[in-house]
Every structure is written in structure tokens, then in C-alpha cells.
Amino acid sequence: MDSKISRRELLTKTSVVGAGLALGSLSTASAIASDSEGRNTIGASIRRADFKKEKHVPVIELPSRIVAGQPFDLTVSVGKDIPHPNTTEHFINWICVYFKAAGESRVTELAKFEFTAHGESPMGTNKGPAHSDPHVSARMRLKKSGTLIAVSYCNIHGLWESAVTVTTV
Ligand SMILES: [Fe+2]
């Protein structure tokens, strides 16, 4: 992939969600890209892609019908079609889910999930008894339609996002 094309796509597709990110992980983010005004922003460093071709993209799964104000279960995962390694050296550190209500500029953080076991062991890397894979569910209630946004962080490959439109009935 041409890095200039990729960067241009990044700038045009990530400007909306930059403000609401998990700032606590900023210090571990790798390359910081610039936005269209030349500023180094976290939003400009988040990549999007087709999850069927790129293993880092978080996949949001929802019920087909969401009733305003009623609970539903959201599932989000990384590696749905192409598994991510999830080893001691290379793992998904966290996923955050945000909601941007229709007609509002503010983003609400809905949930954050941290994955903390990657096969670590005193006997060596990947010899530990447990791995926490990045596949989680949480119960939500939305009072109105909008956009759900998931952002994931890989310790090697940085920040990735996806978004789905939610229409409540
Ligand atoms: Fe990765």
C-alpha cells in the first residue's frame, strides 16, 4: 500500500472521533500523524480498513433491532476474520467504544476493555497459562439514533477504528 494514499485516507476518515479517545495510552502510541492543518493529533493516527482484509480493525456486532431506551448487547472483537496473534510480544491492549448521538458533536465513552494476559510467564514468553483475547460484550441503552465507534490498540501496530450507524426504533 502506498503510504501517502494511506495517510490521506487516514486524514479524511478519522477527523470526527479524535477528541474522545483513551488519552491514557497516548504515551505508548507509535507514529503520530498530522491532521489536515498539520497538527499532530491522536485522531490523525487512527487507521480504518476492511476487517476482512486487516486483522486489527474492531468489529462491532449489534442486534438487528434496537429499541430506544431499552437494553441490548453489543459485541466488539478484533481478529474476527483474520486472527490477531495475541502473544506476549504482540497483542491487543484495549478496545474502547464510543457513541456519537445524531445531531450532537460530543462523543460519549460507553465502555473500555483492557486485555491483560498475553502468555507472560517467569519461564519465558508465551509459556504462561492464560491469554485474554479481544472479544467482549457489554449491555447498553441508547435513547436515540447515532453512531457507535470502536477503537482498538495493538502494542505493535497502533490505533484502529470502525463505526456503525444505529437507528433506534
Ligand atoms: Fe498487531
Q: 2-11, 29-38, 119-128, 129-138 — which is least confidently predicted?
A: 2-11
For residue 17, what pLDDT band results from cuts at 50, 70 and 90?
Answer: very low
Calpha distance 22→75 (Å, rounded): 19
CA of 49 to the centre of ligand 1 (A): 14
Per residue in 140-162, pLDDT (tens digit) is 999 999 999 999 999 999 999 99
Calpha distance 148→141 (Å, rounded): 12
Which one-letter DSSP state was computed for residue 26? G
For residue 26, what pLDDT band results from cuts at 50, 70 and 90?
Answer: very low
CA of 131 to the centre of ligand 1 (A): 15
CA of 152 to the centre of ligand 1 (A): 10
Residues annotated catalytic, as ranges: 54-56, 84, 90, 154, 157
Fold classification of 49-166 is Immunoglobulin-like (2.60.40)
Give the domain ranges of the chain.
49-166
